[in-house]
Amino acid sequence: MKKIILILGFTLITITTAFAQRFAYVDSDYILKHMPEYASAQRQLETLSAQWQKDVDQRYQEIDRLYKAYQADEVLMTPDMKKRRQAEIDDKEKSAKEFQRQKFGPDGELTQKSNTIIKPIQDKMTKAIQAVAESEDIDMIFDKNSAVAMLYASPRYDKSADVITKLGLKPGTFAK
């Protein structure tokens, strides 16, 4: 009787272990910091953003200059002249806001450029993660930086270094 219970218990433990899922996590920011193409893409986006921000600032400085000139000349202007100058200032302000929205808005050029430049890099990282998961027989890999709350994760389940190695890079050596 003891043998049967022992065999059943051993079988139950073996079956439970066989169906257990394996989990791991990666730190996508850490991985991306190792990728030279990501660092290059970030610099390219920062340069583009700074250039467009400079253009926006120049437009608002021009509006400010026009407004100050309007205030200085307001006493000498006829009502018709005031309307024209105010309309000119309003048009320039609308134009500047529209330019800013086109460049930096949610569907703006910066967002689109970011998507076209960074998406291939993220796809490359995703393929490397998938390859690590398949080679190590891992069922699910979470991203430490995503919206999934990870209150604790044992470092032994961190597969970031494996992904970096799979990408042909050296863990701990950040791209410049």
State pLDDT tens for residues 43-68: 999 999 999 999 999 999 999 999 99
75-132 pLDDT, tens digit per residue, is: 888 899 989 999 999 999 999 999 999 999 999 999 999 999 999 999 999 889 888 8
144-169 pLDDT, tens digit per residue, is: 887 665 545 567 778 888 888 888 88
> Averaging pLDDT over each range in 26-30, 36-40, 171-175, which range is the top one?
36-40
pLDDT at 71 over 60: yes
Predicted pLDDT of residue 151: 44
Predicted pLDDT of residue 152: 54
Q: Model pTM?
A: 0.69
Predicted pLDDT of residue 76: 87
Distance CA 85, CA 13 (A): 84
